[in-house]
Amino acid sequence: MCVITLALMEDSAPRPAPQAITTANPADRPVYVIGGGPGGLATAYALRAQGVRAVVVEKADGVGASWRRHYDRLHLHTTRRRSALPGLAIPRRFGRWVSRDDMVRYLEKYAEVHELEIVTGVEVSRVERTADGTGWVLHATGGRELVGSAVVVATGYNHTPHLPRWPGLDTFTGDLAHACGYRSGKEYAGRDVLVVGVGNTGAEIAVDLVESGAGRVRLAVRTVPHLVRRSTAGWPAQYSGILVRRLPVGLVDRICRVLAKASIPDLSAQGLPRPGTGLYTRARQGAIPVQDVGLIDAVRRGRVEIVAAVEGFEDDGKVVLADGSRIAPDAVVAATGYARALEDLVGHLGVLDDRGAPVAHGARAPKDAPGLYFTGFTTPISGTLRELAIDAQKIAKAVRRHLR
C-alpha cells in the first residue's frame, strides 16, 4: 500500500503556502476518490484496472476508519463471498459472517495488495469546478488545493452521527450516548438501559446488552421495522434480496409478506406488530429490514421490552415517550443513525436532492456536474458491499469514457 501522510504543522511553526497535488496538463490529472472505506478502495482499484490514476483522500490515519469505530460484536449481515471487493476474496478463515476486526484487516490487505495510492490525514471540505471547467478542485486540510480530472465521493452512508433535536436534550444530565460511541454491553452490566431506534444497529445493541448482563433493556420504537432471519435453513436473506431486486416492488412486497408469516412469529403482544407497508417499498425509501441476530427471541421472552418512541427529556433524568409515559433509565443509547453530511462538500453544486442525497449515483454523474460521481449512498436489499463492488467497476468505466 502506498500511503502518503500530509501532516499538519504545529500552530507555532511558520506555515508554507497552500500545497497542491496537480499537473499542468488536464489529461495528466489524477482522479480523486474521497473516502478510504470499502467504496473508495474498490473504486480506486477499478480505476487502476482501467488504466486511470486514482488517489484516495482519507481524513483519518488509515483505511476503514468507520469500521474501526463500530461496536465490538458487529458481524456482517451479508455473506463473506458476496461481500468481497473486486480483485480480492475475503479469506475463508474469516467465516461466513465476517467480524468487524476481520473486515478492517481485509480492507488493509486490499489496499496493500493492490498498491493503492492513498493520502491519509487530509480532509476535503469543498469540491468545485476548475476555473476553465476542465476538472475539479478539492479544498482540503491546511489550505491545500487538489486538482483532479474527476472526483468520486465515497464518504459513506454512515458519515456523521445524527441525534434528533429532542426537547430538553440540551439540559438533560443523564447518561446519553450515540451508538457510534457504543463498544460493548459489558460497560452497562447491571444497568437499566434504553436503546432508541430499531434499525439493525439498535436491534443488535439491545441484544448485546441483554447478553452482557444489563439489568433491564428497553427499545424505543417509532416505526415498526420489517424483521427477517439473517439465514433460514442455511439460505442467507441476502441471496433472496439478490434474486428479487429486479422484480416489481408490489410483487416483492407480497412475497415477503408470505415469507414473514411463515418464518417470523407474531410479536404484536410485545409491541412489534407486522408493518402495514411492504418490505421492498420500505427498502426503496431507504429503510432496510432488520436482520435478526437474537432480537426476536429476546423480545418474545421479555428480555427486551418494546416501548414508545422518545419525545423528549426532562431535567430530572426522565425520558418522555410518545404515549405520554415517563421512564428513568440509568443510560440511553441513541441508535438514531447518521447523516450523509454532503451539503458543505458539494451542496453548492446543485447535485443533492431535498433529503441531502445525491441526485445521481454510481456510474451516472449529475447532468450539470460531469466528472463527479457518488458511491455508497444507498441501502440495497442485495447487500451494500456487493453493490459497492459492482458500482466501482461501472464508475471506473464511466470515468474512462469521460476522460476520453
Q: Parse the chain into domains and list their residue ranges.
A: 2-7+17-159+340-403, 162-337
Residue 15's pLDDT is 30
Cα–Cα distance list, 232 to 97, 238, 239, 286, 299 (Å): 14, 11, 11, 24, 19
Whether 2-7+17-159+340-403 shares its CATH topology with 162-337 is answered yes
- Strand-pair category, 319-321 with 310-313: antiparallel
Where does residue 35 fall: left (phi above 0), alpha (psi -120 to 50 degrees), or beta otherwise?
left
Residue 16's pLDDT is 35
Where does residue 327 fall: left (phi above 0), alpha (psi -120 to 50 degrees), or beta otherwise?
beta
- Whole-number Å distance between alpha carbons of 196 and 355: 22
- Strand-pair category, 338-339 with 160-161: antiparallel
- Whole-prediction pTM value? 0.90
Q: What is the mean pLDDT of residues 230-235?
A: 93
Q: What percent of the chain has pLDDT over 90?
A: 86
Query: pLDDT, tens digit, for every residue of 108-160?
Result: 999 999 999 999 999 999 999 999 999 999 999 999 999 999 999 999 877 78
Residue 371 near residue 150 (C-beta atoms within 8 A):
yes
Residue 399's pLDDT is 97
Q: What is the mean pLDDT of residues 32-55?
A: 97
- Whole-number Å distance between alpha carbons of 300 and 278: 23
Residue 37's pLDDT is 96
- pLDDT exceeds cutoff 90 at 25: no
Q: Which CATH architecture has domain 162-337?
A: 3-Layer(bba) Sandwich (3.50)
Q: CATH fold of 2-7+17-159+340-403, please?
A: FAD/NAD(P)-binding domain (3.50.50)
* Average pLDDT, rounded, for the chain: 92
25 vs 302, residue with greater confidence:
302
Residue 362 near residue 373 (C-beta atoms within 8 A):
yes
Q: What percent of the chain has pLDDT over 70?
A: 93
Query: pLDDT, tens digit, for every residue of 239-255?
Result: 999 999 999 999 999 99
Residue 26's pLDDT is 62
Residue 5's pLDDT is 34
- Whole-number Å distance between alpha carbons of 351 and 369: 8
Query: pLDDT, tens digit, for every residue of 62-115?
Result: 999 999 989 999 999 999 999 999 999 999 999 999 999 999 999 999 999 999
Residue 173's pLDDT is 86
- Whole-number Å distance between alpha carbons of 58 and 54: 13
Q: What is the mean pLDDT of residues 172-183?
A: 94
Handedness of CA 241, 244, 245, 250 (dihedral sign): negative
- Strand-pair category, 117-120 with 2-5: parallel
Tell me how many degrees the CA angle 167-171-172 measures, rounded to the nearest 5.
85
CA 122 from chain centre, in angstroms, equals: 20
Residue 286's pLDDT is 85
Q: What is the mean pLDDT of residues 20-24?
A: 48
- pLDDT exceeds cutoff 70 at 260: yes
